[in-house]
Amino acid sequence: MYIFDRYILRELVGPFLFGVFAFTMIQFVFPLFEGIEFIMNKGAPLNLVLSFLLYSLPSMMVLTLPVSTLMTALLTFSNLSSGGEITALRVGGVSFYRLMVPVLAFACMVSVATIILNEEIVPRANQAVEDLRWSIVWKRDVKLSLKEVENEVVLVNNRYYLIFKKYLPERDVLQDVMIIEPTGESGTFLQYIAQEAEYSDNGWDFKNVNIFALEGDKVTPKGSFERTRFEVNITPLDIAHARHTKSAGQMNMRELRETISAKRKMGLPTRSEEVEFYLKLATPFSCLIFALFGAPLGLQPNPQSKSVGLGKSVIIVFIYFVILSLSRALGMGGQLPPILAAWLPNTIFGGAGGYFLAIRT
């Protein structure tokens, strides 16, 4: 590692830490207001609200780290350019492409950290946030939660899926019910189809049940029963809120892949899960894209304050997330392939960053 590599890396640390703090505080406003509402309107204890705020931080960091990388590259190269260091290095035979190496290495480390955060910490933290919101809001007003639910898919014990057309809370009855259960062999499932299921004594009584074995496209009848009972660890109140269904934000890539595979076996649509699956990689990779985009834009003859760099970063990120929102919606709606929907913003900004890099050099 050359001396100028270490120098540039040291210059990156300050703006990066400032960006992480600034952008986290901007996002923190929203859960903070929600926490205040919990205290004022729901009488929630302070320790639950503090836990809610703490567990809200990891999901913010997934967005904060790429944005901070953009501002870091922009501010660092602005300061180096205005101070004459860039000119001196280029006169000494160091190309701008070579100067990008420590920046891209730094962005690569941030990308890896974002992937680890997104895979190992964020799903559990998001689940904790939902559990705390449930404890604060619904368990204090249970009657509000009892409502009819239609066309729901519920993951039970992270093992099998309970699918039903309608839940009738006044009778604790599920109508047109299906259970998909893995057999332990790869790619094979048991499918239970029942006319209805009624909750009693911590379990569900299924009526007019037909059982099938699923293996790839092969469907084999295994028998039928007039009545049978399942000791399912899920109550009517859980059903009312689909409490056992994990959202994409509460799953890592492995769980999303398993969900997609299981839903395909059931013939259910998987576009939203596929888009979220590809976003699990596209979002961390945006750190590299933002570094490539921000460094050439930072080459200015006059120094920029951190507030100016912060403002530019906010504008650029706003445009990025507008494109991301549109492409994500198009992907979930079927107008774009899921992988293209997730990677389209990175492709656009990566191309723009390459163009700026070429004209700056």
DSSP per-residue codes, 208-231? EEEEEEEETTEEEEEEEEEEEEE-
Q: Quick check: is 280 in a domain?
A: yes
- Statement to judge: residues 107 and 192 lie in one domain: no
Q: Quick check: is 253 in a domain?
A: yes
Upper half-sphere CA count for residue 178 (Cβ side, 13 Å): 16
- Statement to judge: residues 70 and 56 lie in one domain: yes
Single out the residue in 203, 233, 267 at which a domain terminates: 267
pLDDT at position 143 is 36
Query: Does pLDDT of 50 surpass 80?
Result: yes
pLDDT at position 305 is 60
Single out the residue in 267, 285, 300 at which a domain terminates: 267
48 or 138, greater pLDDT: 48
Enumerate long-range contacts of 36-40, CB under 8 Å, 24 or more apart.
Answer: 38/136, 38/137
DSSP per-residue codes, 243-281? TTPPPGGG--HHHHHHHHHHHHHHT---HHHHHHHHHHH
- Statement to judge: residues 112 and 60 lie in one domain: yes
Tell me how far apart the alpha carbons of residues 162 and 178 are, in angstroms, rounded to a whole number.
6
- Statement to judge: residues 261 and 321 lie in one domain: no
Query: Does pLDDT of 232 surpass 70?
Result: no
- Give pLDDT tens digits for 167-197: 777 777 888 888 877 776 666 778 888 888 8
Q: Is 59 left (phi over 0), alpha (psi -120 to 50) or beta?
A: alpha
- Statement to judge: residues 21 and 163 lie in one domain: no
pLDDT at position 245 is 58
Kindly give the residue spans of alpha helices, DSSP state H, lying in the chain: 3-42, 46-82, 85-91, 96-116, 122-137, 236-241, 253-266, 271-297, 306-333, 338-360
- Statement to judge: residues 130 and 14 lie in one domain: yes
Q: Quick check: is 289 in a domain?
A: yes
Tell me how far apart the alpha carbons of residues 34 and 305 are, in angstroms, rounded to a whole number.
33
Say if CB 150 and CB 166 are below 8 A apart. Answer: yes
Q: Quick check: is 345 in a domain?
A: yes
Closest CA to 343 of 283, 273, 292: 283
Query: Does pLDDT of 277 surpass 90?
Result: yes
Tell me how far apart the alpha carbons of residues 23 and 311 are, in angstroms, rounded to a whole number.
11
- Statement to judge: residues 261 and 281 lie in one domain: no
313 or 252, greater pLDDT: 252
Q: What band does 134 get if pLDDT is binned at 50, 70 and 90? A: confident
Average pLDDT on 146-171 reads 64
Amino acid in position 276: E
Rounded to the nearest 5°, which phi and psi values hold at 264?
-65, -40
Rounded to the nearest 5°, which phi and psi values hold at 302?
-115, 145
Query: Does pLDDT of 137 surpass 70?
Result: no
Q: Quick check: is 145 in a domain?
A: no
pLDDT at position 144 is 37
pLDDT at position 242 is 53
- Cα distance between the two ends of the chain: 23
- Give pLDDT tens digits for 315-337: 888 899 899 999 999 999 889 99
Domain count, the chain: 2
Average pLDDT on 31-39 reads 90
- Statement to judge: residues 65 and 98 lie in one domain: yes
Q: Quick check: is 286 in a domain?
A: yes
Closest CA to 207 of 192, 220, 221, 222: 192
Q: What band does 342 get if pLDDT is binned at 50, 70 and 90? A: very high
Say if CB 184 and CB 178 are below 8 A apart. Answer: no
Q: Quick check: is 144 in a domain?
A: no
**Domain range for 301:** 3-138+272-360
Query: Does pLDDT of 141 surpass 70?
Result: no
Single out the residue in 267, 296, 318 at which a domain terminates: 267
- Statement to judge: residues 130 and 17 lie in one domain: yes
Say if CB 181 and CB 160 are below 8 A apart. Answer: yes
Tell me how far apart the alpha carbons of residues 168 and 165 are, in angstroms, rounded to a whole number.
10
Query: Does pLDDT of 53 surpass 90?
Result: yes
- Statement to judge: residues 316 and 340 lie in one domain: yes
Amino acid in position 154: V
The Cβ of residue 5 has, within 10 Å, a number of other Cβ atoms equal to: 15
Closest CA to 259 of 166, 153, 330, 331: 153
Q: Quick check: is 340 in a domain?
A: yes
Q: What band does 304 get if pLDDT is binned at 50, 70 and 90? A: low
- Statement to judge: residues 157 and 86 lie in one domain: no
Tell me how far apart the alpha carbons of residues 283 and 108 are, in angstroms, rounded to a whole number.
13
- Statement to judge: residues 23 and 96 lie in one domain: yes
**Angle subtended at Cα 176 by Cα 169 and Cα 224, rounded to the nearest 5 degrees:** 125
